[in-house]
Structure 1
Amino acid sequence: MYIIVWAMLVLYALLLAPGASAANDLLFKNLITGDFQQVDPLVVMVFSFLGLFPVLFMIMICKKDTYKLPGWPFSLLSFALGAFSLLFYYHWKGQKVRTRSRISSRFIAIISSRLWIGLCLALTISGYVYGLSVGSIKAYGDAFMQSQLVSVMTADFFVLTWLSYSVMTKERIASRPYLLLCFIPVAGPFLILLLLPRQDVREEKL
């Protein structure tokens, strides 16, 4: 399933996504250079969430980096490639070949701490408040049609939302009622990790 979604996402990005390419895309330049005052807040919100999603998956991957294909390189790549990197990893990771994660326990302790997850959740909530309070759906729709970056990152955003639910379900990180929180993009999965750290640790040891 993951490889099918990956192929569809690649096809969309290369052939179907509307909007101007990077060379002629003013929105692309504004987002990359951090000139957010010239960009609709909803677009900025989604763009910032694509920086928080990789942090979320880094926590989940690093704690269980025990599979044949090392997960940490794909976790790092996801900060630039998003779902393009993560879908590839989850499809090809293979079977478990280690009893403990490749990542140091000290680093895992830091990124899975309540303080770190709480900070990420606070940043996410701030993004929601900013984007939903002053952003414009119409302006976002215009940006979607005018900018290839916005159209691709929107698809990436929805795929990552689904992927967070899929991974948390398969790895039994939380029970089903809690898993529905994954459909509150970024905030929901971080809240799950914040509320259920002990259960998550127990499942990792299985």
Structure 2
Amino acid sequence: MKYVLGLLWVAFIAYALFMAPGNSPGNDPIFKELLTFQSEEPWLLTVFSWLGIFPAVYACILLRKSIRVREDRRVPAWPFVLFSFGLGAFALLPYYALSSPFQKGVSSDHWPSAERPKSGISRVASHKLTHLILLILTLGSACYAMIQGNPERLAEAFNQSSFVHIMTIDFGVLTLLSTMAISRDARVNGRTTYWAWAGLLPIAGPLLYLLTERK
């Protein structure tokens, strides 16, 4: 799987640099409107805002626990999570390609760290209120887009703007990658891996997975 993710990462970069259709960001009025939140199309604003919410969801999954180091100790999660707020799947794909999850039932003798207090970031990432706020923002923006927006304008921008084109594909990759994120987390924490299917519900699925976790 790591090689598949690595190839997907390379292919995604190559596509974004050389094959994405539409105007480049420097000559793209849609890109400038989104950066200044002046776009009048709710669907564009919503997908753009979701690319800010999605990395926060991954942060909640990867950074919420400091009791056990659940991934390969040689690949800390936080740098990839940090860069994902600007690069999305471009930052997270290499993390999942390089890290090796611990399997359910691994002896505690093999855990690379002992129990220790949670850091401030871990406490925020693990708090149910954080997950609930992210879910409310997701559902609220979705309702705004569906009521006020025109999906045909998003489809037009997908072909006219390279930024919107890559942004939309990035959102799709993050959605598919969240199934792996949930599956790995569920195995480590003794939950059913059927929860991975929740990742197909963009953003809301992983948040429901987190909200239903028993502490």
* TM-score > 0.5 by shorter chain: yes
Percent of residue pairs bearing the same amino acid type? 35
The answer as to 2:116 corresponding to 1:92 is no
Counterpart of 1:179 in structure 2 is 196
Partner amino acid, structure 1, of 2:78: W
Counterpart of 1:80 in structure 2 is 86
The number of aligned residues is 196
CA–CA distance in structure 2, aligned partners of residues 115 and 187 of structure 1? 14
The answer as to 2:192 corresponding to 1:189 is no
1:142–1:94 Cα change, 3 Å? same
Gaps of 5+ in 2: 103-110
Counterpart of 2:181 in structure 1 is 167
Counterpart of 1:26 in structure 2 is 29
Question: How high is the TM-score relative to the length of structure 2?
Answer: 0.83
Counterpart of 1:70 in structure 2 is 76
CA–CA distance in structure 2, aligned partners of residues 177 and 70 of structure 1? 26
Counterpart of 1:203 in structure 2 is none
Residue deviations 1:127-178 (CA, integer Å, cap 9, x gap): 1101122221211111001111100011100000000011111232642443
Counterpart of 1:158 in structure 2 is 172
- Which has the higher Rg, Structure 1 or Structure 2? 2
Displaced runs of 4 or more, over 4 A: 94-97, 100-104
Counterpart of 2:120 in structure 1 is 106
Partner amino acid, structure 1, of 2:126: S
Pairing partner for 2:5 from 2, 5, 18: 2
1:23–1:127 Cα change, 3 Å? same
CA–CA distance in structure 2, aligned partners of residues 107 and 144 of structure 1? 35
1:101–1:186 Cα change, 3 Å? farther
Residue 106 of structure 1 and its aligned partner are, at CA, apart by 3.4
1:53–1:21 Cα change, 3 Å? same
Counterpart of 1:50 in structure 2 is 51
Question: How high is the TM-score relative to the length of structure 1?
Answer: 0.86
